[in-house]
Structure 1
Amino acid sequence: LKQEEVRFRTTLSKGMALFDTAVQGFTPGDMLDGQTAFTLSDTYGFPLDLTQDEARRRGYSVNVDGFEAAMAEQRQRSREHWKGSGQTANTGEWMAVRDRLGPTVFTGYDAIDGSGEVLAIMKAGAPVDSAEAGDIVEVLFDSTPFYAESGGQSGDHGTFEWPGGEAEVIDVKKHAGDLHVLSAQITAGKLEIRARAAQLVDADKRTTTRANHSAAHLLHTALKNVLGTAVAQKGQLVDAERARFDFSHGAPVTEDELAAIEAEVNAVIRQNVPAETKLMAPQEAIEAGAIALFGEKYGDEVRVLTLGRSLVSDNAPYSVELCGGTHVARTGDIGLFKVVQETG
């Protein structure tokens, strides 16, 4: 915790200095361009919300649309770079690996670091025995703390190191159902099958992503409470920047309803009660009141996440859902919930 605090203070100090440079010569009413705001966030780890807070304090504004556009451009560049590297999901290859080696052991619910043995390396969609500095490859470990993109939650980023080498993890996907496959760029050394590597998840991204994911669960319940039980989740996208929640509702959401939704979610956050998880059979979980998503495929055992206590009934939970994602330890870890955009 102390290390996290020191890291945050360092990021904050550096970000404030860069912000000061960016707004030199500004007068009240001026707007910081979106590209600069994105650079502060993406390159230097200074979040958009802090940039907005500091700009607001000084009488400036931030071009959020420009920020979104810059982020979209970067994602597109990353996708094109990945495609250009020849990396494609070779379903047949990964199915063969899964049949031979079994599923990945995911340790990321309890830790953001761990050690694992390299079981497979794919380059340009084909299996290889090794990869060298500069190569972009897909790597499978026997066990990993890296969360693979699933259920609308983005995959972890981070690094892994082995004697004489290191790699940057730029994405994590699921293949063959339960293989956590790391998309990585080798930055030094030579990686070989059976190498043992120390893996480290990007703590900042994991922390903000899981807070946003837990907030999405609370939002789901608040929507049902305020708008009616007919509200149904249709999708979501959760990453380190935000949670986008898609739902069905037969009418526009009014400002009063939005205010009520925000107030309810923040009330549960302020409870600061521990999150609870249990492993249950899907039908048992649903009969116990857990929300399952229509069309979602569940295995023989599911994780049931409980967040918060009911605001109207004693000894009743607030949110109970089937979810395999990563989440906060306590509702208070979410911080503050705010709806920044609602469209229909």
Structure 2
Amino acid sequence: MHSPGATLGVMGGGQLGRMFVHAAQQMGYLTVVLDPDAASPAGWVAHHHVQTGYLDEQGLAQLMQRSAAITTEFENVPAAALVTLGAHRPVAPGADAVAICQDRALEKAHFGRCAVPCAPHALIDSEAQVGAADAALLPGILKTARLGYDGKGQARVANRDELVAARRAMGGVGCVLEKRLALAAEISVIVARGADGTMVHLPVQRNLHRDGILAVTTVPAAVDRDTETQAVQSAYRIAESMEYVGVLCVEFFLLTDGSLVANEMAPRPHNSGHYSIDACDVSQFDLQVRTLVGAPLPVPRLHSPAVMLNLPGDLWTRPDGAQIEPDWAAVLALPGVHLHLYGKTQPRRGRKMGHLTVTAASAAAARETALRACGILGIEPF
């Protein structure tokens, strides 16, 4: 185990890196962030900020020199950089696992190897494959195989003409066409796996997305126990089969017929797990630190039901386009409210500026207070 006082490195300077840095520092570790942005949220709070690109040789060398072990805060860090770092320092998660998560085609193939169902789909790498795609997959959702997140790189397609147009709009890159399914709910499981194979998980989370971006997470998830068990067991198989080390989120669709299918996975802490900072005795970021340094992994305990609300940049803009500051005083006057802002200076529509977690003695009370916060902030109720 790397003892407190060691320096931990993180590739990426966004809000996930910022929250990792906070957790590491709380446990007594020094931190270093590599990110090209001089004003990155994690770079502001880390002990050291290496301001270079993710494939810059000198930057990677600096990160290695300073770090006892290295993690990543987003899945689109070039896997080649993780290979370079992994040749000299412990890196968690490793390059092979991240490479699978970066490519939807590889991801779905991995789900199949793990006997975890996913949506019926086809790979679309050419115009010929567009024409040959099974008509049973329409209406569907076309997603770029790489570099898609938060609703980016995907389009709903009702017929083959729309499929052709959507692929051309995406630049003709490799895509995955998924059949559109009848959804009852979306849930996620966050697993932490140590190098010794020990695995623990956060409570199953129920998620509401709007325009492809997570808007609300509710815990407990209010799904039946069999569904929770199936989701957790599937996430464990997925992590174990990759020999994964670190924190992994697996998102699932619960269909109207009661079946469960895997949607996608993220090789890092996840937006749907942010509530764990305030509602669990061990957060997803604590678990990320522990898996990286080889510390014991206690089973997280949910001590308070919670609702997490994302705070998009839209909240800082009036309908006429004028910039405003949300009424934080009114929000913070509500019971059980925990405000987390990420230090981003430019609010933009759809940009995640922070989150609000509401904890309470019961799920109903947490929901009631969260809805009051929605009313104050102008967030659509759920």
TM range (shorter): under 0.3
Larger radius of gyration between Structure 1 and Structure 2: 1
- What is the TM-score normalised by the length of structure 1? 0.27
Q: Which has the higher contact order (CA 8 A, sep 6+)?
A: 2
- What is the TM-score normalised by the length of structure 2? 0.25
